[in-house]
């Protein structure tokens, strides 16, 4: 069997994961496991699917070591739970941290900070402003924003990058 590498596609990795679960851990995965994995992995950043797959294997191995059975429904729950955990972790680790670019709190009055923020938001396109508001003020993930706006997650990441670059230019 060939080992998965970072260059493999998401679908190839899903097939590899299914083979590992079946052949190495003796778990009977559901017939739609690859579709479930791909669907969940696409809700994360594009490079996180291997991490999700590794966590699934570790979680399954730990459950089996404790003597807990794993059926198709439980495997689906594991995948969903781990994806949620990864998404929450990503939101905490990589915020669009505006505060670090602002002068210290003592140098701006609340009115000055509010006016500066309004001035910055006025320079954004309407779509960028919506994405900025939802990410920074409402702490929504890129996936949640994509789902709410109908835009792709990749588009949301590009818009957040554009907002970040405009903000850096704004404060210089």
79 and 23, same structural domain? yes
Interval 115-153: pLDDT, tens: 888 888 888 888 888 888 888 878 888 888 888 888 888
Asked if residue 5 belongs to a domain, the reply is: no
Asked if residue 2 belongs to a domain, the reply is: no
CATH number at residue 143: 1.10.10.10
Count of helices and strands (H, E) across the chain: 8, 0
Question: Which of 70, 93, 116 is the last residue before a domain boundary?
Answer: 93
DSSP secondary structure of 68-81: ----HHHHHHHHHH
Grade residue 85 by pLDDT with cuts at 50, 70 and 90: confident
Q: What is the pLDDT of residue 149?
A: 85
Bigger pLDDT: 91 vs 45: 45
80 and 42, same structural domain? yes
Domain containing 110 equals 99-171
49 and 81, same structural domain? yes
119 and 71, same structural domain? no
Q: What rounded mean pLDDT belongs to the chain?
A: 81
């Amino acid at each position: 069997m060939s080992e998965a590498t970072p260059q493999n596609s998401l679908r190839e990795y899903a097939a590899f994961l299914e083979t590992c679960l079946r052949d190495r851990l003796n778990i009977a995965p559901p017939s739609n496991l690859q579709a479930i994995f791909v669907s969940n992995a696409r809700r994360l950043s594009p490079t996180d699917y291997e991490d999700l797959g590794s966590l699934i294997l570790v979680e399954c191995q730990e459950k089996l070591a404790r003597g807990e059975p794993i059926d198709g429904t439980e495997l689906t729950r594991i995948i969903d739970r781990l994806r949620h955990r990864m998404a929450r972790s990503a939101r905490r680790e990589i915020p669009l941290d505006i505060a670090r670019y602002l002068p210290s709190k003592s140098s701006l009055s609340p009115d000055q900070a509010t006016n500066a923020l309004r001035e910055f938001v006025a320079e954004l396109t309407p779509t960028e402003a919506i994405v900025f508001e939802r990410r920074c003020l409402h702490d929504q993930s890129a996936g949640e924003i994509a789902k709410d706006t109908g835009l792709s997650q990749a588009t949301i990441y590009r818009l957040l990058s554009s907002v970040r670059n405009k903000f850096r230019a704004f404060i210089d």
